Amino acid sequence: MNYEYYYNNVPNVGKCRNNLIYTSLISSDKKTFVQWYHNDTEYHFGQNQVVDSNKMEEKWEREVKFLKLVQGSFPMHVPLILDIDYNERKIYLQIDGPDFWERSNCTTENYGATLPNWQEQMLEIIEAYKFLGIHKYSMHPSSYFIVNNKLKSINYFFTYYENEPYVSIKDVESHIYSTRQDEIKKHLTSLGIEWDKPQSWNVMDNLCWNSFSTNYPSEFINKVKRLINEQAQEMSI
C-alpha cells in the first residue's frame, strides 16, 4: 500500500497541516489513515509544534491509551484500528475518504450537507467521554472521519482522565496552534484564568469550546457547554 501526506485544503488559505503534533498520512485508495508520531519537517513545513522527544512520546502514549479505551467501550465512535506499529509509532485506521472538515470544504456552513445529523452524533460521542470520565481537548472538526454515515473520532493525544492532576495552558501550549492560542486569550478574563496556573477540567472544557467559536455554530457550542457543565455539577454533588 502506498501512502502520501494528508493535508486539509482551507479556502483562502490553501494547503494546511491536518495535525500539528504527528505526521498525517493517507493511503492511495483513501481507505486508511495513519497517525505517525514522528516530527517530519517536510510535512510540517519546518514549523514543527512538538520538538521535544519526551513530549512526543507522551502524546503517542496518550493517543494509544485513550483510543483503545474508547474502542473498548464505544467502538462505534472510533475508526476500526487496523494496526498499531509501536516501533514506528504509527496507528493505522480504517476510513472512507477525507475527514469531516475536509468533506465540508473546511466551512462550518457545509456541515449539515455533509452529514445532516452531525450535531446529534458529536454530542453522543461527547456523552461517551462523560461516561468514561475523560476530558478530550483536540475537538477540531478535522478530528472526525465519516464511515457508513457515522462520525468516527480520532486525536486522543490531548486527553486526560478526570482524576489526573490539573494542567495549565502553559503546560500544553506547545500543541495548541498560534491562532487557537489567540482565541483562548480572548476568554481568560471572563473565565478568571491565568495562563500559567493549573485549572479544573471543567474550566478547561469551557475554555476549549469557547476557542472553537469559528469552527462550530454557536448553538452547537452552547449544547456542548450545557452538557459538560451538567457533568461538573453531577460530580460535585
For the cut 60, the answer to whether the pLDDT of residue 131 exceeds it is yes
Q: How confident is the model at residue 236 (pLDDT cuts 50, 70, 90)?
A: low
Percent of the chain at pLDDT exceeding 90: 85
Provide the whole-model pTM.
Answer: 0.94
For 21, counting Cβ atoms within 10 Å of its Cβ (0-12 exposed, 13-18 middle, 19+ buried), the class is: buried
Q: Tell me: the pLDDT tens digits for 207-219? A: 999 999 999 999 9
Fold of 3-236: Transferase(Phosphotransferase); domain 1 (1.10.510)
The three three-digit cell numbers of residue 31, written as one number = 481507505
Tell me, what's the pLDDT at 237?
53
The three three-digit cell numbers of residue 158, written as one number = 490531548
Taking residues 72-79, what's their average pLDDT?
Answer: 98
For 76, counting Cβ atoms within 10 Å of its Cβ (0-12 exposed, 13-18 middle, 19+ buried), the class is: middle
Q: Tell me: the pLDDT tens digits for 138-182? A: 999 999 999 999 999 999 999 999 999 999 999 998 878 888 899
Nearest CA to 106 among 225, 25, 215, 230? 215
Separation of alpha carbons 233 and 199, rounded Å: 16
Taking residues 19-31, what's their average pLDDT?
Answer: 96
Q: Which residues are within 8 A (CB) of 185 and not within 5 positions of it... i.e. 6 or more apart?
A: none
Q: Tell me: the pLDDT tens digits for 107-119? A: 999 999 999 999 9
